[in-house]
Structures are given as C-alpha cells and as structure tokens.
Amino acid sequence: MIAVYPGSFDPVTLGHLDIIERAAKIADKLYVGVLINVSKAARFTAETRLAHLRELTAHLPNVEVAFFDGMLVEFVKKVGADVIIRGFRFEISEYEMQMVTANIIFGAETFFIPAKPEFSYISSSLVKEIAARGGDISGMVPEIIGRAFSDGIGS
C-alpha cells in the first residue's frame, strides 16, 4: 500500500512524528506531503519544514518527504498512492470532513489514525502560540524544532 500523509507541518510536532511512524508500519511506502494550507499563517518556510521532516524521518527507510502546492488529490495521483492518511485528535472537524468528502469525489480515500493520548493536546497552532509568548514547547516538538524557534530561524 502506498500512502500520502499530507499536512502543513508548521512546525512538525511529536504528534505528527508519531502518526508518521505508525503509518510507516502499515504502508509499504509513505509520502509525507508538505502542502501549503491557505487558511493558516506560516511560521516556517516550506524549505525549512521539508528539511526538518527529512532529518526527523531519516531513520524510516520507506518514508519520503515531498513538497506540493496544488490539489492534494493531484499529489496522490502523481505518486500513485492508494490512500491519504490523516491524524485526528478529539474530533474530525466539519472542514476536514468536507475535504475528505471532496477527495472521495475526486477519487482518493482517507484513513484516519487517532493521536495517542499523550499527544492529543498538541497542535502546530498551539505550539506557535506558546512559542510566540516565550513559553516552553519542549514536550510538544522534537529538539530541532525547539531550537529553530529559539534561534528564530527558518521563517
């Protein structure tokens, strides 16, 4: 099974990494797709996000990280994926379900993987909010991301 795990990953969190590791066990090949979410303000450039994800998934031989700026379904078709993977925390939003349903109509199915309880409170938006106020994000993101915030790089 070839799978695509799309997201903005701005920044990648411990929750994202856990989904990648679990999805990589199920899929023969997993593409982590860095896509621009037009409704969210970016903290890190796409290049920085790709570099972070590549470093953090280097130990997973069947994972490949790629950037894509068109429709998700086009990325899915381009890499020949069978399924889209999305993580979810407490609930799946109406907006997420709209995208999932549109993708079904476009010919792509989505499998949801629930976050582990220890990661279920973490989101990239929360990390950005806490970091912007000088708070401690060390339990929410990999070390390289914490350093990128404190060094103020990659934006």
Residues forming contacts to ligand PNS in the complex (CB under 6 A) are 6-8, 35, 37, 40, 71-72, 99, 102-103
Active site residue 52: no
Active site residue 150: no
Least separation in angstroms between residue 133's CB and ligand PNS is 21
Q: What are the structure tokens assigned to 140, written together?
A: 């929410």
DSSP 3-state assignment of 147?
helix
Least separation in angstroms between residue 3's CB and ligand PNS is 14
Instruction: Given the residues 40, 93, 116, 155, select the one marked as catalytic.
Output: 40
Least separation in angstroms between residue 25's CB and ligand PNS is 21
Residues ≥6 apart with Cβ < 8 Å to 119: 13, 14, 15, 18
Active site residue 124: yes
CA separation for the pair 80, 113 (Å, rounded) = 21
CA separation for the pair 152, 68 (Å, rounded) = 25
CA separation for the pair 104, 3 (Å, rounded) = 15
Instruction: Given the residues 8, 16, 52, 86, select the one marked as catalytic.
Output: 16
Active site residue 133: no
Catalytic residues: 16, 40, 89, 124
